[in-house]
Amino acid sequence: MAQLLTTADGRPLAEALAQAQAKSRRRAFLLVVPLLLFVLVSFVLPIGQMLHRSVYHDGFSANAPALVAWFAANPAGTEPDEAAFAALTEDLRGMQANRTAGEAGTRVNYILSESRSMFTRAAREAGDLVPPYRDAFEALDPRWVQPAVWQAMRSSSSAYTTDFYVVSADFQRADDGSLVRVPENRQIYIYLFVKTFLLSGLITLICLLIGFPVAHLLATLPMAKANLLMILVLLPFWTSLLVRTTSWMALLQGEGVINDLLVWIGAVAEDGRLRMINNQTGTIIVMTHILLPFMILPLYSVMRVIPPSYARAARSLGATSWTTFRRIYLPQTLPGIGAGSLLVFILAVGYYITPALVGGADGQLFSNMIAFHMDNSNWSMAAALSAMLLVGVLILYWLYDRLVGIDRLKLG
């Protein structure tokens, strides 16, 4: 009954179709391959390699072979014996010869602050030390016989470590190796992480509140007028970020345009000039300005296609203007609100330049902390903090893709 459909040259149709489709899939894929490879090699790979540093640091393990062996032979909590101090002496002499005491000390310093100087000093003196080594070290610096130092060295003796994440999460290792929270006044990373997200949320909210009416105006004006006003939104979008930051500095600073204006009209006294820059206020104002177009554009593209007849129908059925807005108009703009807010939030969380230039001391965000550690060559710490920020951003990005769709991202 069922006759097999074939092509002109006798092949089954289904097979020929599958082949043709596979071929066109390959063709499409081949067009993407060059860019995909390029992005994988010079973007994904570098970031992966950098993140590897957040769990890998051989500054101590590579330079203290004798101690590594002693730690491997003795379980955690063992009181360091004379053999341990002999191993320490041997390694310190090696470090002095190779000039690596700083490197090893830096690694231990991540867990126990101020231990770097202990290493550099001890390495200088290591040549003159004589047995019994335990007493010699105690005489050199009593901290050497404390369990905390040995716990820190044990922790550093493996190149792969979670120590940097422990520090990033504001924890530290107790003398017995267990995790405890650092004192409240030193909990900087989690505090800054939360603050970055809160500030980004605040900036997103401000952008939404002031972007919504403008997007609505643009969407309801006649085309010619809307296009003209649209330039006012697009021009900031196209203007260099540094230019905008610079001009805000000119506007906001103590001797700047806004303060001069306020003094001139008598709103503030000469000595009561407002502090609007080099603090959190500066970061919020300038970032709101920079990110506002990213809110207005998606809102506008959604509002433009909302038919006005729904609102009119609601009004004619007796709804008040507030009810019409709340029940009819607002729900229809939700896709735009979602797209704009998520985009602004994602971009705000990773901001670096603006807080660095106008944020002062309390307006810094998480990215600035990463840069701070990079400047101080604390590369593993920078990598661990990057990983934290990256996870946060990628979750938001995933959310954006699920809710909005990456292919619906539009510019201008």
Partner 1 sequence: MALPTYADPLERLWHRTYQVICVLVFIFLISPILIVIPLSFNVEPYFSFTEKMVRLDPAGYSTRWYDMLLTFGMQAPDVPRDGSWLADMWENSTWVNAAKNSVIIGFWATILATVLGTLAALGLSRPEMPYRRTIMAILISPMIVPIIIIATGMFFFFSNPCGVIGLECGRLTSTYLGVILAHTILGIPFVIITVTATLSGFDQSLIRAAQSLGANPRTTFFKVVMPLILPGVISGALFAFVTSFDEVVAVLFIAGPEQQTIPRQMWNGIREQISPAILAVATILVVISIALLTTVELLRRRSDRLRGVTGR
20-39 residues in contact with partner 1 (CB under 8 A) are 21, 24-25, 27-32, 34-36, 38-39
**Considering beta carbons, is residue 98 or 227 the nearer one to partner 1?**
227
- 29: buried, middle or exposed (CB in 10 Å: 19+, 13-18, 0-12)? exposed
Residue 410 makes contact with partner 1 by CB under 8 A: yes
**Considering beta carbons, is residue 302 or 382 the nearer one to partner 1?**
382
- Whole-angstrom Cα distance, residue 88 to residue 1? 88
Least distance to partner 1 from the beta carbon of 124, Å? 30
- Whole-angstrom Cα distance, residue 261 to residue 245? 20
Instruction: Please give the biggest Cα pair distance in the chain.
Output: 100
- 204: buried, middle or exposed (CB in 10 Å: 19+, 13-18, 0-12)? buried
**Considering beta carbons, is residue 7 or 246 the nearer one to partner 1?**
246
**Considering beta carbons, is residue 140 or 371 the nearer one to partner 1?**
371
Site string for partner 1, 204-243 (x = CB under 8 A): ------xx-xx-xx--xx-x--xx-x-xxxxxx-xxxxxx
Least distance to partner 1 from the beta carbon of 166, Å? 21
Judged by CB under 8 A, which stretch of 83-91, 165-173, 179-187, 400-408 contacts partner 1?
Answer: 400-408
Site for partner 1 in 339-398 (CB under 8 A): 346-347, 349-353, 357, 367, 370-371, 374, 379, 382-383, 386, 389-390, 393-394, 397
- Helix (H) / strand (E) containing 173: strand 171-173
Site for partner 1 in 151-170 (CB under 8 A): none
- Whole-angstrom Cα distance, residue 202 to residue 370? 22
- Paired tokens of 284: 């919020």
Give 57's contacts (C-beta < 8 A, 6+ positions apart). Answer: 107, 110, 156, 159, 161, 163, 164, 380
Site string for partner 1, 168-207 (x = CB under 8 A): ----------------------------------------
Token pair 């716990």: residue: 151
**Considering beta carbons, is residue 46 or 331 the nearer one to partner 1?**
46
**Considering beta carbons, is residue 148 or 262 the nearer one to partner 1?**
262
Strands 171-173 and 179-181: antiparallel
Peptide bond into 65 cis (omega under 30): no
> Which member of 7, 11, 43, 326 binds partner 1 (CB under 8 A)?
43
- Whole-angstrom Cα distance, residue 130 to residue 341? 67
- Paired tokens of 113: 């602050």
Least distance to partner 1 from the beta carbon of 361, Å? 15
- Paired tokens of 301: 């593209």
**Considering beta carbons, is residue 115 or 259 the nearer one to partner 1?**
259
CA pseudo-torsion sign 130, 131, 133, 139: negative
Least distance to partner 1 from the beta carbon of 258, Å? 9
Give me the half-sphere count of Cα atoms (radius 13 Å) on the Cβ side of residue 343.
25
Least distance to partner 1 from the beta carbon of 333, Å? 15
Least distance to partner 1 from the beta carbon of 216, Å? 8
Site string for partner 1, 115-154 (x = CB under 8 A): ----------------------------------------
Site for partner 1 in 253-312 (CB under 8 A): 253, 255-257, 260, 289, 292-293, 304
